[in-house]
Amino acid sequence: MFSRLLGLMSSDMAIDLGTANTLVYVKGRGIVLSEPSVVAVTEVRGRKQVLAVGNEAKRMVGRTPGNITAIRPLRDGVIADFESAEEMIKHFIRKVHNRGSWFSPQIVICVPSGSTAVERRAIQESAESAGARKVFLIEEPMAAAIGTGLGVTEPSGSMVVDIGGGTTEVAVISLGGIVYARSARVGGDHMDDAILAYIRRNYNLLIGESSAERLKIELGAASMPLDGSPGPLYAVKGRDLVQGVPREVTVSQAQIAEALAEPVSQIVEAVQSVLENTPPELAGDIVEKGIVLSGGGALLTRLDDVLRQATGLPVIVAENPLSCVALGTGRALEEVKQLKGVLSSMY
């Protein structure tokens, strides 16, 4: 009875708990928060103490003194640091509610399709410890498909490729269920690592995670510029590994495309693997409808062209690739009766 009363006073919410960013959708209000999935902690008398979460914590990455650590609680789409994840979810719930801790919302959280029962339980328990009344889970590719406007409940095949920070989710969906899916542990973070390694190898220059991410955003491309030129240039600063002094170098889009060749080929391989395992009738639907790209990785220049050439199918980038999963998770929350089949609960 008391929990039902709290429910009436609460705003139910949907959370896209991503490796790189967390988006929160509140029932009836839409997406109200989008912040990096980062927590800054310090240790006081052997216990962790949270100093900052989200945007404030992201600004600290690579710039913290010895007594402060900037942690990303999720790795490859699943919780790597349970305590920090719980604090982060708690912080975002409070920020959205702005009413203190007496309100317990019903929450829908998306999870990678390849996550294990243990990983799913960790996400559910983190949300419950953060104050959720009831927690439902939805698989990321399903949420992405709903968010892009695909008719997931129709007897027709739809294919979605959601490229997030930690994972790439590829799935064929029909009649409100995932017919076949593959979760590849490659995403925006792996692209950042590939750029970081390339700059180190070719220039003997050590750059930070934030610099690698900026290079990806400014110059990131899935293939070389079509006109054969080096493409746009960008200056990046770091520490010279030979002389040990700060130095600046200028890199081109062609070089970044070369650096990203490995993660891009892994994404292509995941897409081809799913297509090979798609039933013939649904494959016919995909030939007609094409493949829909969502997630931050969908913004990578010429990735749609690379996938088009590799599969011979139409490839469409979703209208709001960064918020597709959050919008889909939110719609599942809004239309919980109609879309109940796509939600699951551990209890």
Binding residues for ATP: 19-21, 165-167, 213-216, 296-299
DSSP H or E segment with residue 305: helix 303-311
Residue of 86, 82, 54 lying closest to 70 (CA atoms): 54
Helices 188-203/261-276 angle, 10° precision: 150
Contact present, 70 and 57 (Cβ < 8 Å): yes
Type of residue numbered 273: S
> Beta strand 13-17 with 21-26: parallel, antiparallel or unpaired?
antiparallel
How far is C-alpha 33 from the chain's CA centre?
A: 15
Look up tokens 């590994």; give the residue: 241
Residue of 39, 110, 43 lying closest to 81 (CA atoms): 39
Contact present, 126 and 89 (Cβ < 8 Å): yes
Look up tokens 């100093």; give the residue: 51
Beta bridge partners of residue 48, listed in sequence order: 43
CA separation for the pair 117, 126 (Å, rounded): 14
Contact present, 154 and 339 (Cβ < 8 Å): no
How far is C-alpha 126 from the chain's CA centre?
A: 18
Type of residue numbered 256: I
Q: Which residues fall in the annotated binding site?
A: 19-21, 165-167, 213-216, 296-299
Beta bridge partners of residue 24, listed in sequence order: 15, 33
Contact present, 161 and 294 (Cβ < 8 Å): yes
